[in-house]
Amino acid sequence: MRNRTITLEDFLVQGDEIRHLLAQQRSGRLSHALLITGPDGVGKKTLATLLSAQLFCGAERNRPCLECPACKRAMRLEHADQVVIRRGIPLSPDVKEGRATIPVEDIREMIRICGMAPFEGGNRSVLIFDADTMTPQAQNALLKTLEEPPENTFFFLVTGHPESLVNTIISRCRLLRLHPLPDETIRSMLLREGVSEQDAATLVPLADGSIGKAMQMAQQEGLAEFRKEVLDLFFGMTRRSDILPASNRWKNRKGEADALFTVLESMLHRMMNARFGSPDNGLSSVLPAQWNRFTREAPAEAFTRLYDQIIQARKELQYSTNFQAVFEQILFSFMGEGNQWL
């Protein structure tokens, strides 16, 4: 696949909120603190990095140009006037690697750096990824800096869980919520990255509006074949005697469990949408008769039962439960639900 650089214009699909933000950015009126939230894979970190890069870009217009040396360093998070805070990668020399939280020492080190003049003159940016993992002490230390930010210093906080931040931090930031991307946007971005038409058609319904998830799955070989294998098995099986042979074939494929669950969740999502009003977009052609009937007539509780089985399976595998046993359990649940509609 090609590596096409995502630009700020790619985020215009997010609507008026992002349009207003980019207009302010171009006029030099960027908020001193921006809190970027949204589900995984919709580009939160990419947007924060792009906005950081535009602070250093040497172009006269259309910043960031992504071609000048300053932009290239900023997009690699290597600019001298970028301060990057990430869970598990300490900024402070007093913090060990691999911590599950962002400690107060890292925030204090950031404050110390921001107390000095920018190394290259001009602006400085502070990027805090996984901001929800800041400890209470770290959040309190950051709050004081947000109340009186250093001159020409801009903060970009990124999190999928803003509810974990204290209200006083949220109130001092401009909140920008990113939303799942439309299917057509995911498709066009995949095609621009060099993904084939066939693979893009397979990936779009699995992505759930996340270009990050779509790109991750695009790296997997044999994606279409894998998806067909999963759907044929979980929506095609009707006999209990077939469960054990199937689980024997899958017992050493625990590494594919997440992809398996993602395929099932995505198909259930499409089926539920079709059940409660959205077009089926060819769904009926890929499901056997009993599951088409399920899609047309099943109550919401039936979908919930299957979703719960997948959630439970994910939890069990986190505790190293035998994959074959988990596989058999979820396969049995799908078969039992489908057989009611034969």
Q: Which of 155, 177, 199 is the last residue of a domain?
A: 177
Q: Judge contact between 157 and 37, C-beta under 8 A.
A: no
Report d(CA 269, CA 65) in Å as an integer: 39
**Full domain range(s) for residue 63:** 8-177
Q: Which amino acid is at 249?
A: R
Please check whether residues 172 and 228 belong to one and the same domain.
no
Q: Judge whether 271 lies within some domain.
A: yes
**Mean pLDDT across 284-306:** 93
**Mean pLDDT across 4-16:** 82
Output the six-digit token pair for 285.
């052609």
Task: Inform me whether the pLDDT recorded for 3 exceeds 60.
Answer: no
Please state which of the ranges 113-122, 227-236, 279-288 shows the lowest mean pLDDT.
Answer: 279-288
Please check whether residues 254 and 112 belong to one and the same domain.
no
Please check whether residues 161 and 85 belong to one and the same domain.
yes
DSSP string of 59-93, one letter each residue: -SSSS--S-SHHHHHHHTT--TTEEEEBTTB-SST
Q: Cis ω on the peptide bond leading into residue 39 (within 30° of 0)?
A: no
Task: Inform me whether the pLDDT recorded for 221 exceeds 80.
Answer: no
Report d(CA 108, CA 143) in Å as an integer: 11
Please check whether residues 246 and 172 belong to one and the same domain.
no
The crossing angle, in degrees rounded to 10, of helices 323-339 and 243-250 is 140
Please check whether residues 172 and 234 belong to one and the same domain.
no
pTM of the model: 0.68
Number of domains in the chain: 2
Q: Judge whether 298 lies within some domain.
A: yes
**Mean pLDDT across 210-218:** 81
Please check whether residues 105 and 167 belong to one and the same domain.
yes
Q: Judge whether 3 lies within some domain.
A: no
Beta bridge mates, 174 = 34
Please check whether residues 303 and 155 belong to one and the same domain.
no
Q: What values do phi and psi take at 328, rounded to 5?
A: -60, -40
Q: Judge whether 292 lies within some domain.
A: yes
Task: Inform me whether the pLDDT recorded for 331 exceeds 90.
Answer: yes
Q: Which of 118, 144, 177 is the last residue of a domain?
A: 177
Task: Inform me whether the pLDDT recorded for 290 exceeds 50.
Answer: yes
Q: Judge contact between 119 and 150, C-beta under 8 A.
A: no
Please check whether residues 109 and 242 belong to one and the same domain.
no
Output the six-digit token pair for 212.
């990050």
Block residue for tokens 């603190």: 33
Q: What average pLDDT does the chain have?
A: 89
Could you tell me the CATH number of the domain that includes residue 147? 3.40.50.300
Question: In the prediction, which pLDDT does 146 show?
Answer: 94
Please check whether residues 20 and 125 belong to one and the same domain.
yes
**Burial class for 128, CB neighbours closer than 10 Å (0-12, 13-18, 19+):** buried
Locate the DSSP E strands across 44-203.
82-85, 124-128, 153-159, 174-177
Please check whether residues 168 and 225 belong to one and the same domain.
no
Which residues touch 269 (CB under 8 Å, ≥6 apart)?
A: 205, 208
Q: Judge whether 281 lies within some domain.
A: yes
Please state which of the ranges 37-41, 72-76, 80-84, 116-120 shows the lowest mean pLDDT.
Answer: 37-41
Please check whether residues 265 and 143 belong to one and the same domain.
no
Q: Judge whether 208 lies within some domain.
A: no
Q: Judge whether 92 lies within some domain.
A: yes
Cα 312 to chain centroid distance, Å, stands at: 21
Q: How far is CA 150 from CA 28, 38, 118, 144, in A?
A: 17, 28, 11, 11
Report d(CA 295, CA 304) in Å as an integer: 13
Output the six-digit token pair for 219.
């790296």
Q: How far is CA 134 from CA 99, 125, 128, in A?
A: 11, 18, 9
Could you tell me the CATH number of the domain that includes residue 332? 1.20.272.10
Q: Judge whether 195 lies within some domain.
A: no
Q: Which residue has the higher pLDDT, 126 or 322?
A: 126
Express the helix, strand and coil content of the chain in percent, nearest 5 each.
55, 10, 35
Q: Which of 152, 177, 202 is the last residue of a domain?
A: 177
Cα 25 to chain centroid distance, Å, stands at: 24
Task: Inform me whether the pLDDT recorded for 285 exceeds 60.
Answer: yes
In terms of phi and psi (left: phi > 0; alpha: psi -120 to 50; beta: otherwise), the region of 66 is left
3-state secondary structure of 70: helix
Q: Which of 319, 314, 321, 335 is nearest to 246 (CA)?
A: 335
Question: In the prediction, which pLDDT does 4 show?
Answer: 52
Other C-beta atoms within 10 Å of 283: how many? 18
Report d(CA 134, CA 298) in Å as an integer: 43
Q: How confident is the model at residue 1 (pLDDT cuts 50, 70, 90)?
A: very low
Please check whether residues 43 and 155 belong to one and the same domain.
yes
